[in-house]
């Protein structure tokens, strides 16, 4: 069993998650079984209630674990199945220790960071490393943050316990470019490594994030002052077109060869053909479409990260470049849909909570329906699709969700009985039975699927017959709970809403079937 620890220095948001995912991809090209996990130093027990303004989207796993968006990168780049074992916060570590202390497991001893917190971290590592060849562990935050110190100390101890020959430390750092001086600077990276060494961790590999190429002289300098072999100073220059170029970039830098060499892994030669094919399709598409993504957090780069990536995957699958236009639903409320959507080939409404901008989203669904524009509604996107139909086709002018108007006389969307009072969410993977002769069945090409959910409100079954009799199609249901999972507009080229989050099951080499079909419908409309 081999272990890789990835830390970051100088600044946050360096892309450690992308680097971890790309490294996992490199190792999988050698037929190694890889698992990637993350420690986040914040004290939240989970990330479900954290603001997207701070942390971007909440990424949901099959088992219902709410995680950091970096786990999306892990799943998109590798075949590694993820669960609660792949994501741990300081909050969970301390929660576990306090529970043990309350039970008397420590037999009255003083509970301290060392050994109790570090032991808890190490126990998580041992549990996570089962049934794989290489465990990659990313530590959130930056070196020197007080919150991360217990984790670094645990990693140091862990390397001694399992043997240093089985452990590799990779440090991701920034090489800033000073425009005024016209040169790259290594001093911040030197200081970052020095701080790491003070803690007792010597990096084996230095991955340098940079906007410009690093000279050999600079590699020599970093090697000398960071006490790292020159060949282990790896350039990670910003990719020009897509994050899916990163495995090729790191492979060309020799990272994969270096890792297996340093960990003494007997592995086959890397086969990068899959990633070469993906990048070729990204660089030389045969077509292009313009897709509007409508939501309340569109100004935030990472709030709908998985949606944007899934559209890119569908572009790869359709040999097409997807140009994304971000549209704030509040702007629709103010200015109307025509101003922002008249020239797009497709419209997607991404998931959200709360009533801010909701009337704008309902207006978007109406605009797509009336103008026969391909439409894909995710979670709230399905719900506003039903509300628009009820208001403007069934003539139920007060139709709404009880989330937005608890007193509505036509609660087309409402909370499930077992979830009233905000007790819990429907979260994680749930089965969906797909109805034949629907757009959904045409996309999936199978009768059943399983998709990830994260929500409290559902289509009200009391209105299901009325909707269907007027031209709405229930394309998929969860039979166990008698819940609508997929809605379709019958008299529309492609208007599909889903209660789940399909973007969490999409990969560049395996685009989600619904995203694939949606982009194909946009291409067809454009090329009419």
pLDDT at 326 over 60: yes
Q: Give the tokens for residue 459.
A: 């289509």
Position 416 confidence tier, pLDDT thresholds 50, 70, 90? low
Q: In what order do the strands lie in the sheet with 399-401?
A: 399-401, 410-415, 457-459
Q: Give the tokens for residue 467.
A: 């909707």
DSSP state of 510: B
Mean pLDDT of 329-345: 95
Please identify which residue in the block is written with the tokens 């079937």.
Answer: 513
Mean pLDDT of 446-473: 95
Domains 2-277 and 286-526 share a fold: yes
**Among the listed ranges 44-53, 209-218, 487-496, which one has the minimum average pLDDT value?**
44-53
DSSP state of 422: T
pLDDT at 255 over 60: yes
Check residue 47 and give its pLDDT: 73
Cα(56)–Cα(164) distance, integer angstroms = 36
Residue 232: strand, helix, or coil: helix
Position 49 confidence tier, pLDDT thresholds 50, 70, 90? low
Q: Which residues pair with 135 in a beta bridge?
A: 3, 35
Sequence spans of domains, the chain: 2-277, 286-526
pLDDT digits (tens, 9 = 90+) for 287-318: 999 999 999 888 888 889 999 999 999 999 99
pLDDT digits (tens, 9 = 90+) for 113-127: 999 999 999 999 999
Position 323 confidence tier, pLDDT thresholds 50, 70, 90? very high
Contact 251, 230 (CB under 8 A): no
Position 381 confidence tier, pLDDT thresholds 50, 70, 90? very high
* Nearest CA among 178, 174, 239 for reference residue 208: 174
Check residue 346 and give its pLDDT: 98
Position 425 confidence tier, pLDDT thresholds 50, 70, 90? confident
Check residue 45 and give its pLDDT: 85
Check residue 182 and give its pLDDT: 85
Mean pLDDT of 82-86: 91
Percent of the chain past pLDDT 90, that is, above it, reads 85
Position 352 confidence tier, pLDDT thresholds 50, 70, 90? confident
Q: Give the tokens for residue 21.
A: 């995912």
Residue 414: strand, helix, or coil: strand
Q: Which residue has the higher pLDDT, 181 or 391?
A: 391
* Strand segments (E) across 388-527: 399-401, 410-415, 426-434, 448-455, 457-459, 472-478, 483-489, 495-498
Contact 251, 214 (CB under 8 A): no
Output the average pLDDT for the chain.
94
Check residue 424 and give its pLDDT: 65
Percent of the chain past pLDDT 70, that is, above it, reads 97
CATH number of this structure's domain 286-526: 3.40.50.880
Assign 3-state DSSP to the chain and report helix, strand, coil percentages, each to 5: 40, 25, 35
pLDDT digits (tens, 9 = 90+) for 437-453: 999 999 999 999 999 99
Residue 193: strand, helix, or coil: helix
Name which CATH class applies to 2-277.
alpha beta
Please identify which residue in the block is written with the tokens 């803690």.
Answer: 199
Check residue 357 and give its pLDDT: 87
Q: Which residue has the higher pLDDT, 56 or 25?
A: 25
Sign of CA dihedral 293, 294, 295, 298: positive
Residue 101: strand, helix, or coil: helix
Contact 37, 128 (CB under 8 A): yes
Element (H, E) at 442: helix 439-444
Position 528 confidence tier, pLDDT thresholds 50, 70, 90? confident
């Amino acid at each position: 069993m081999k272990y890789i620890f990835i830390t970051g220095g100088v600044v946050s948001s360096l892309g450690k998650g992308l680097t971890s995912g790309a490294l996992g991809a490199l190792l999988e090209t050698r037929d190694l079984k890889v698992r990637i996990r993350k420690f986040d130093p914040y004290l939240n027990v989970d990330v479900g209630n954290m603001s997207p303004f701070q942390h971007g989207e909440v990424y949901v796993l099959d088992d219902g674990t709410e995680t950091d968006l970096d786990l999306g990168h892990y799943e998109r780049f590798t075949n590694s199945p993820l669960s609660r074992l792949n994501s741990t916060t300081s909050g969970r570590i301390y929660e576990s220790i306090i529970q043990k202390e309350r039970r008397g497991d420590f037999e009255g001893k003083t509970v301290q960071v060392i050994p109790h917190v570090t032991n808890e971290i190490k126990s998580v590592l041992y549990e996570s490393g089962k049934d794989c060849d290489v465990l990659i562990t990313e530590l959130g935050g930056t070196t020197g943050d007080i919150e991360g110190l217990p984790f670094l100390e645990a990693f140091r101890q862990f390397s001694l316990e399992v043997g240093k020959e089985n452990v590799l430390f990779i440090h991701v750092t920034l090489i800033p470019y000073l425009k005024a001086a016209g040169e790259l600077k290594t001093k911040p990276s030197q200081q970052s490594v020095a701080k790491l060494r003070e803690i007792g961790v010597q990096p084996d590999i230095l991955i340098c994030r940079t906007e410009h190429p690093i000279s050999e002289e600079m590699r020599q300098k970093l090697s000398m002052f960071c006490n790292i072999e020159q060949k282990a100073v790896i350039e990670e220059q910003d990719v020009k077109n897509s994050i899916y170029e990163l495995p090729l970039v790191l492979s060309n830098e020799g990272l994969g060869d270096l890792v297996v060499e340093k960990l003494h892994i007997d592995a086959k030669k890397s086969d990068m053909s899959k990633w070469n094919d993906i990048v070729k399709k990204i660089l030389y598409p045969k077509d292009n479409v313009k897709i509007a993504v409508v939501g309340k957090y569109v100004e935030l780069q990472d709030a709908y990260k998985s949606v944007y990536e899934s559209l890119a995957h569908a572009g790869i699958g359709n040999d097409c470049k997807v140009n994304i236009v971000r549209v704030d639903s509040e702007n629709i409320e103010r200015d109307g849909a025509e101003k922002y959507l008249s020239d797009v080939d497709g419209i997607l409404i991404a998931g959200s909570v709360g009533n801010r901008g909701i009337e704008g989203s309902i207006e978007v669904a109406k605009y797509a329906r009336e103008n026969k524009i391909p439409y894909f509604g995710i979670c709230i996107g399905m719900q506003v699709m039903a509300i628009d139909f009820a208001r403007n086709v069934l003539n139920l002018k007060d139709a709404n969700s009880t989330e937005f108007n608890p007193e509505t006389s036509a609660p087309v969307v409402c909370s499930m009985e077992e979830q009233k009072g905000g007790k819990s969410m429907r979260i994680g993977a749930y089965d969906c039975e797909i109805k034949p002769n629907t757009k959904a069945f045409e996309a999936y090409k199978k009768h059943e699927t399983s998709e990830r959910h994260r929500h409290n409100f559902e289509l009200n079954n009391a209105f299901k017959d009325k909707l269907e009799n007027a031209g709405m199609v229930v394309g998929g249901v969860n039979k166990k709970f008698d819940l609508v999972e997929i809605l379709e507009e019958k008299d529309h080229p492609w208007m599909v809403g889903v209660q789940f989050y399909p973007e969490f099951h999409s990969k560049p080499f395996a685009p989600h079937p619904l995203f694939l079909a949606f982009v194909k419908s946009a291409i067809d409309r454009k090329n009419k």
